[in-house]
């Protein structure tokens, strides 16, 4: 009884930490930009400042949090589904598929300045989303379904290598697309608007609900699939749902902000280092933690060399990789996770 109460206290305390950090970072996010703090302070008196806040900084801040939440949720699903602490959201070929989709549509439209502006808002987003979903579909076909976890894992690696090689070949043969592809591969939150916020919020809510409903299956799979099946858990249905959610969340994140590394990998580890809980708690808290991590990284990317910006994917790779290295040498739990 005492153990349960301590666990509940730890979970509630971490929830408050996430809420306070999210609110604080949202305020900071609205204050950071090329015009500095002045736009935030003058937002209610100056129409130009108000437009900067409501049309640029607020949607960008929301997009950063929502993207991190999608990646955090996807990372927790991938690590639970494959029972591998190094599994990340892009494991099933979504990243390489999204990159190939962007490369193809840039070549089709010749990456000229007129079409590039339109493509950045519609074409590149749609191509990245469809490419990510098709990458996951190719992985499932190569694995002959989703029944065998190890086969899916291996197929995802193969599809990632092949599609990545095709993207590189297209870039080499068409050097005019390199700059746009580089921006996509390094990750950025600067091109998304309010429509993207609404779309990503809907996907996050649907994915979170579906994950929460089937989370008990991930708890059972830790003991082995045979044991989970003997407990009456629907392994095949749950695996299908989780793979679908994994494809949907990563495809949405990739299509809106490009490839952002380590958030989906680091967020679940950070949650596990703070609290010990079942997957229902882990999945939701990983999403919230991912949102906090990416929003903090995006604020740093905007402010470190202001008025210029660093690609947020570069910061997440550096910070996330450093954190995982530290965690690897200091933490180890009974389930084999770092």
142 lies in some domain = yes
Q: What is the pLDDT of residue 291?
A: 94
Question: How much is the pLDDT for 36?
Answer: 57
Please report whether residue 41 resides in a domain: yes
Q: With the C-alpha atoms ordered 244, 245, 251, 254, is the resulting torsion angle positive or negative?
A: negative
11, HSE (Cβ side, Cα atoms, 13 Å): 17
Residue 335 falls within a domain, yes or no? no
Neighbours of 155 (CB within 10 A): 21
pLDDT tens-digit series, residues 81-121: 888 887 888 888 888 888 888 888 888 776 554 444 544 55
pLDDT digits (tens, 9 = 90+) for 172-188: 888 877 777 777 788 88
The CATH number for 179's domain is: 1.10.3470.10
Q: Which of 155, 147, 175 is nearest to 96 (CA)?
A: 155
Q: How far apart are CA 274 and CA 13, in angstroms?
A: 10
Whether 227 is covered by a domain: the verdict is yes
Range of the domain at 50: 2-330
From the number of C-beta atoms within 10 Å of its C-beta (0-12, 13-18, 19+), residue 279 rates as buried
Asked if the structure places residue 24 within a domain, the reply is yes
Specify the residue for token string 């590394």. 261
CA angle 251, 257, 263 (to 5 degrees): 80
Q: How many domains does the chain have?
A: 1
Residue 254 domain flag:
yes
The mean pLDDT value of the chain amounts to: 80
For 273, counting Cβ atoms within 10 Å of its Cβ (0-12 exposed, 13-18 middle, 19+ buried), the class is middle
SS (H, E, C) the chain: CHHHHHHHHHHHHHHHHHHHHHHHHHHHHHHCCCCCCHHHHCCCCCHHHHHHHHHHHHHHHHHHHHHHHHHHHHHHHHHHHHCCCCCCCCCCCHHHHHHHHHHHHHHHCCCCHHHHHHHHHHHHHHHHHHHHHHHHHHHHHHCCCCCCHHHHHHHHHHHHHHHHHHHHHHHHHCHHHHHHHHHHHHCCCCCCCHHHHHHHHHHHHHHHHHHHHCHHHHHHHCCCHHHHHHCCCCHHHHHHHHHHHHHHHHHHHHHHHCCCCCHHHHHHHHHHHHCCCCHHHHHHHHHHHHHHHHHHHHHHHHHCCCCCCCCHHHHHHHHHHHHHHHHHHHCCCCCCCC
Q: Considering the domain boundaries, does residue 338 fall inside one? A: no
Tell me how far apart the alpha carbons of residues 269 and 87 are, in angstroms, rounded to a whole number.
Answer: 11
Is there a contact between 81 and 215 (Cβ–Cβ < 8 Å)? no
Query: How far apart (Å, rounded) are the C-alpha atoms in residues 166 and 256?
Result: 22
Structure tokens at 293: 């991590």
Structure tokens at 304: 């470190």
Q: Please report whether residue 321 resides in a domain.
A: yes
Tell me the pLDDT of the chain (338 aa) as tens digits.
444 577 788 888 888 999 999 999 988 888 776 555 555 555 556 666 667 777 788 888 999 999 999 999 999 999 988 888 878 888 888 888 888 888 888 887 765 544 445 445 566 778 888 888 898 889 988 888 777 777 888 888 899 899 989 988 888 888 877 777 777 788 888 777 788 889 899 999 999 999 999 888 887 777 666 666 666 667 778 888 898 898 899 988 888 888 888 898 889 988 988 888 888 899 999 999 999 999 999 998 888 877 777 888 888 888 877 877 776 666 554 444 44
pLDDT tens per residue across span 27-50: 888 877 655 555 555 555 666 666
Q: Is the pTM of this model over 0.95?
A: no
């Amino acid at each position: 009884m005492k153990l349960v109460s301590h666990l509940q206290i730890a979970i509630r305390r971490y929830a408050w930490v996430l809420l306070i950090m999210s609110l604080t970072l949202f305020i900071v996010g609205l204050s950071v930009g090329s015009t500095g703090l002045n736009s935030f302070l003058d937002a209610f008196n100056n129409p130009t400042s108000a437009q900067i806040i409501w049309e640029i900084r607020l949607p960008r801040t929301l997009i950063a949090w929502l993207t991190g939440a999608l990646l955090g949720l996807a990372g927790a699903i991938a690590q639970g589904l494959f029972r591998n602490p190094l599994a990340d959201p892009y494991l099933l070929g979504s990243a390489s598929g999204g990159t190939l989709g962007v490369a193809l549509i840039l070549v089709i439209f010749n990456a000229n300045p007129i079409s590039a502006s339109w493509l950045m808002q519609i074409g590149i987003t749609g191509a990245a989303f469809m490419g990510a979903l098709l990458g996951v579909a190719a992985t499932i076909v190569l694995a002959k379904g989703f029944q065998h976890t190890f086969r899916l894992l291996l197929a995802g690696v193969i599809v990632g290598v092949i599609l990545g090689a095709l993207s590189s070949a297209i870039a080499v043969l068409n050097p005019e697309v390199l700059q746009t592809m580089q921006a996509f591969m390094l990750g950025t939150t600067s091109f998304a608007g309010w429509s993207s916020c609404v779309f990503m919020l809907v996907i996050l809510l649907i994915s979170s609900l579906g994950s929460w409903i089937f989370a008990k299956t991930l708890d059972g799979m830790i003991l082995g699939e045979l044991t989970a099946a003997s407990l009456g858990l629907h392994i095949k249905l749950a695996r299908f749902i989780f793979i679908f959610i994994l494809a949907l969340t990563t495809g949405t994140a990739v299509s809106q902000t490009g490839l952002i590394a380590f958030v989906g990998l680091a967020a679940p580890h950070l949650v596990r280092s703070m609290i010990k809980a079942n997957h229902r708690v882990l999945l939701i808290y990983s999403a919230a933690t991912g949102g906090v991590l990416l929003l903090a990284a995006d604020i740093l990317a905007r402010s470190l060399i202001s008025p210029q910006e660093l690609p947020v994917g570069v910061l997440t790779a550096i910070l996330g990789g450093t954190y995982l290295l530290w965690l690897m040498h200091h933490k180890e739990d009974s389930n084999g996770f770092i």
